[in-house]
């Protein structure tokens, strides 16, 4: 397009990044690595932390001011940082900025980028508005909805991971939406990772059925329902084990309540892959996801999924083939579906497992990242064209007014 020489210069601004373990962190690392592989010069701006990430990655990480998130000592919250960002971007101007947070740091970045006339795009990674009821502050949901819509509509494009999510955002008044799907590492997450030794440690024989779930152990993930259903299946003899993988503020309470389940805490990638593949059914009861990476990881591992019909499940699960779907918040249907798949014969369940693996054949990160890189170039081209068209005495006056408005 004749706009970029020496590779696209991209800033990714996020509040979570590896070695922190969560879906957003994992996705942002994939974006940084993929863009770097395609020749982009990537800088990751994230909250300052006391520990270091890997030294051998192709991007540069820059600290931003932050404070700890209550109940999540391993995570930090980005603070307002307009002066810091202004200095950084005046010294080395990026071609485009990807905002993965709508918090104070993201607001500062949006304001300064607009002032410096640097194009911005955003990613809709977290349904913060849906989290509120789990923390008893749902009264402010209309305000949060309005702010999120305002924030994302101030960028040149907002990337969302599924058709379902794009439809939801369009219905809420979001503009300029684009798809940024999610891939899955099919080499790591594979049926080959199934471990009879691990199952033996769970107390499960070869023919026994084990329900597995992987999640951050937090209120908004609906883990109480997950644990309740898994334990119910054990108590009624429909399953012989239940394993919950993950860490978070609700872990202690759930361990005390659900004595028949195994709670592993956080696991390494290899151990996580073995846990996915060694289960017989993956139960996903969360109703607050924008995607749900754990769903495609379970499917790639050959483990059929029982979930609600939205986000990743609606895109990847075919009922009666590689899992079952329930309408949103229909807990009884979720329970019935879990019983249904656990009642399958070993041969029937094996076919579900093969179908689960096949359903992720097209979840290719390389193709997704190439399209994302192409989208960024296209957006940048459009923004530059619009800026050229807007250079006139009246437009200069309008930009001055906009800058003054941003200061207020």
278-313 as b/e, with b when 16 or more CB fall inside 10 Å? bbbbbbbbbbbbbbbbbbbbbbbbbbbbbbbbbbbb
Query: What's the pLDDT at 394?
Result: 54
Q: Profile the chain (408 residues) by mean pLDDT over runs of 10 residues.
A: 70 94 93 97 90 78 87 75 96 97 96 97 86 67 92 98 95 97 97 98 96 94 97 98 96 97 96 98 96 97 98 97 97 98 97 98 95 97 85 53 45
Query: What's the pLDDT at 137?
Result: 67
For residues 136 and 386, give the distance between their C-alpha atoms in angstroms, rounded to a whole number.
44
Examine residue 19 and say whether the peptide bond preceding it is cis (omega within 30 degrees of 0): yes
For residues 176 and 116, give the distance between their C-alpha atoms in angstroms, rounded to a whole number.
21
Pairing of strands 72-78, 66-69: antiparallel
Query: What's the pLDDT at 250?
Result: 94
Number of Cβ atoms within 10 Å of the Cβ of 103: 17
DSSP-assigned states of every residue in 326-337? E-TT-HHHHHHH
**Domains of the chain listed by start with CATH number:** 9-183+364-407 (3.40.50.2000), 191-358 (3.40.50.2000)
């Amino acid at each position: 397009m004749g706009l970029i020489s020496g590779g696209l210069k991209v800033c990714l601004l996020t509040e979570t990044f590896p070695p922190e373990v969560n879906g957003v962190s994992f996705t942002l690392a994939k974006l940084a690595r993929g863009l770097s592989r395609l020749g982009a010069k990537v800088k990751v701006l994230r909250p300052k932390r006391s520990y270091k990430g890997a030294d051998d990655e192709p991007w540069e990480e820059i600290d931003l001011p932050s404070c700890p998130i209550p109940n999540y000592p391993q995570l930090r919250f980005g603070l307002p940082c307009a002066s810091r960002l202004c200095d950084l971007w005046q010294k080395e101007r990026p071609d485009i900025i990807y905002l993965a947070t709508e918090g104070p740091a993201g607001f500062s970045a949006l304001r300064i980028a607009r002032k410096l006339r640097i194009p911005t795009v955003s990613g809709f990674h977290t349904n913060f508005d849906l989290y509120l009821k789990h923390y008893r502050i749902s009264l402010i949901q209309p305000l949060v909805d309005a702010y999120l819509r305002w924030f994302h509509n101030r960028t040149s494009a907002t990337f969302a991971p599924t058709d379902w999510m794009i439809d939801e955002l369009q219905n809420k008044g979001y503009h300029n939406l684009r798809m940024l799907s999610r891939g899955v590492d099919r080499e790591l997450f594979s049926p080959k990772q199934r471990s009879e030794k691990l199952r033996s440690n769970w107390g499960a024989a070869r023919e026994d059925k084990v329900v597995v779930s992987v999640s951050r152990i937090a209120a908004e993930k609906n883990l109480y329902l997950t644990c309740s259903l898994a334990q119910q299946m054990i108590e009624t003899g429909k399953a012989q084990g239940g394993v919950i993988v993950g860490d978070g503020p609700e872990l202690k309470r759930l361990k005390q309540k659900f004595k028949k389940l195994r709670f592993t805490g956080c696991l390494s990638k290899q151990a996580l892959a073995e846990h996915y593949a060694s289960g017989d059914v993956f139960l996903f009861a969360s109703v607050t996801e924008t995607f749900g990476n754990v769903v495609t990881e379970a499917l790639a591992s050959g483990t059929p999924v029982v979930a609600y019909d939205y986000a990743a499940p609606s895109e990847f699960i075919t009922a009666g083939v590689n899992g079952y779907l329930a309408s949103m918040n229909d807990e009884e249907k979720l329970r019935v579906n879990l019983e249904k798949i656990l009642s399958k014969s070993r041969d029937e369940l094996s076919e579900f497992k093969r179908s689960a693996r096949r359903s992720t054949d097209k979840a290719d990160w390389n193709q997704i990242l190439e399209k994302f890189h192409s989208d960024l170039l296209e957006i940048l081209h459009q923004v530059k064209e619009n800026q050229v068209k807007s250079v006139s005495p009246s437009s200069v006056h309008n930009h001055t007014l906009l800058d003054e408005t941003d200061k207020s």
